[in-house]
Structure 1
Amino acid sequence: MLNQSIESITSKILDDLNIKTPSKIDVNKISRHLGVDVKAENMDFDISGLFIIKNNKPYIRYNDNEHPNRKRFTIAHELGHFVLHKEAKPIFVDKNERIMYRDGDSSTGEFRKEREANAFAASLLMPKSFIEKAIKKSPKETDDIVAYLAQKFKVSEQAMNFRLANLGYIGLY
């Protein structure tokens, strides 16, 4: 899946719900709109969330013990699996781990699906057009634009940094 088509898909979802500002991006409302049952669960510390289809009904469960921004990203990520991969394997469990290397599993397609779900979550929570407007309207005395935008979009600074880098605004260091 090309990133441009992911951007189009998330843009349509936001348009369908008449969401025009970062403060109106409600992942629970979006989930209801898409017909996905979302609930918090007490999960092991290394699991952020999961997406499963059971009896043709989609479910997302997320770790209630994590930071609110992490919960939002996890729900958006799992929605990415639902929207982009629901015809594939019926379950995705996302552990709170970072893959910092390529190994044999990276080329199997699962790594690609995780990257696509992350791109979907980033596009849904930090739409390009919303970021462009927020940058233009940012206070002139803003010392740290990444921190400012992360707070405005209710995401981690790391997530915002990746999004800005992927959109070509900044380089990752």
Structure 2
Amino acid sequence: MINNSIENITSKIINDLGISTPRGINIEKIAKHLNVDVKAEDLDSDISGLFVIKNNKPYIRYNKSESNNRKRFTIAHELGHYVLHRDSKPLFVDKNEKIMYRNLDSSTGEIRKEREANAFAASLLMPKVFIQTAINSAPKNTNDIVSYLADKFKVSEQAMNFRLANLGYVGLY
């Protein structure tokens, strides 16, 4: 799936919900808008989250022991699987269930579906137009723009670095 296509899908979600600032990006409300049931669970330490379709109903479960930024990215990542991959062959199958996990291997980008879900999460949590606005309106005395933006968008610095690189801001900060 082309990144522009993912950007268009997430822009439509953001616009449909009338979200106009990074603060307005409430991932639980977005999931509710998409009719996805989201709940925290006690999961193994190597599993950040999972996406399940059972009886045609989507469920996301995320590891409640992780940081808030990680939880947000995990939920957004799993929503990416739902929006982008719900009709494709699942990673794990058990009767009438489709299960897709987010774990340590998910972040390596080796699996196409995982890369797409990561791109979806990044685009949803850090919309391109919001990034551009935040960079342009950053206080002049901002020494570390990546930290400033990560804090503003409630994501990790690593996620922000990847997003900035993917948007072509490499070497600027």
The verdict on a shared fold, with TM-score over 0.5 as the criterion, is yes
The separation in 2 between residues aligned to 1:23 and 1:70, in whole angstroms, is 16
Task: Identify if the C-alpha distance between structure 1 residues 59 and 99 changes in structure 2 by more than 3 Å, giving closer, same or farther.
Answer: closer
Corresponding residue number in structure 2 for 1:131: 131
Q: Is the 8 A contact 2:107 2:114 kept in 1?
A: no
Deviation at 1:55, TM superposition (A): 0.4
User: Which one-letter code corresponds to 1:159 in the other structure?
Assistant: A
Corresponding residue number in structure 1 for 2:38: 38
- RMSD over aligned CA atoms reads 1.5
Corresponding residue number in structure 2 for 1:6: 6
User: Which one-letter code corresponds to 1:70 in the other structure?
Assistant: R
Corresponding residue number in structure 2 for 1:116: 116
Task: Identify if the C-alpha distance between structure 1 residues 45 and 135 changes in structure 2 by more than 3 Å, giving closer, same or farther.
Answer: same
Task: Identify if the C-alpha distance between structure 1 residues 136 and 17 changes in structure 2 by more than 3 Å, giving closer, same or farther.
Answer: same
User: Which one-letter code corresponds to 1:54 in the other structure?
Assistant: K
Corresponding residue number in structure 2 for 1:94: 102
The separation in 1 between residues aligned to 2:45 and 2:138, in whole angstroms, is 36
Deviation at 1:95, TM superposition (A): 1.2
Instruction: Give the unaligned 5+ runs of structure 1.
Output: none
Corresponding residue number in structure 2 for 1:169: 169
User: Which one-letter code corresponds to 2:48 in the other structure?
Assistant: S
Deviation at 1:96, TM superposition (A): 2.8
Q: What CA deviation, in whole Å up to 9, does each residue of 1:90-145 have, x standing for no partner?
A: 210111346659xxxx4xxxx00000000000000000000000001000000000
1:61 aligns with 2:61: yes
Q: Is the 8 A contact 2:76 2:121 kept in 1?
A: yes
TM-score, length-scaled by structure 2 = 0.91
Calculate percent identity across the aligned residue pairs: 68
User: Which one-letter code corresponds to 2:103 in the other structure?
Assistant: K
Structure 1 SS opposite 2:19: coil
User: Which one-letter code corresponds to 1:130 in the other structure?
Assistant: F
Structure 2 SS opposite 1:139: coil
The separation in 2 between residues aligned to 1:2 and 1:98, in whole angstroms, is 19
User: Which one-letter code corresponds to 1:114 in the other structure?
Assistant: E
**Bigger Cα displacement from structure 2, 63-72 vs 162-171:** 162-171
Deviation at 1:31, TM superposition (A): 0.3
Instruction: Give the unaligned 5+ runs of structure 2.
Output: 91-97
Task: Identify if the C-alpha distance between structure 1 residues 123 and 99 changes in structure 2 by more than 3 Å, giving closer, same or farther.
Answer: closer
The separation in 2 between residues aligned to 1:80 and 1:150, in whole angstroms, is 20
The separation in 2 between residues aligned to 1:56 and 1:98, in whole angstroms, is 24
The separation in 2 between residues aligned to 1:44 and 1:4, in whole angstroms, is 34
Q: Is the 8 A contact 1:51 1:61 kept in 2?
A: yes
Give the aligned length. 164
Deviation at 1:171, TM superposition (A): 4.2
Task: Identify if the C-alpha distance between structure 1 residues 16 and 59 changes in structure 2 by more than 3 Å, giving closer, same or farther.
Answer: same
User: Which one-letter code corresponds to 1:92 in the other structure?
Assistant: M
Task: Identify if the C-alpha distance between structure 1 residues 100 and 125 changes in structure 2 by more than 3 Å, giving closer, same or farther.
Answer: closer
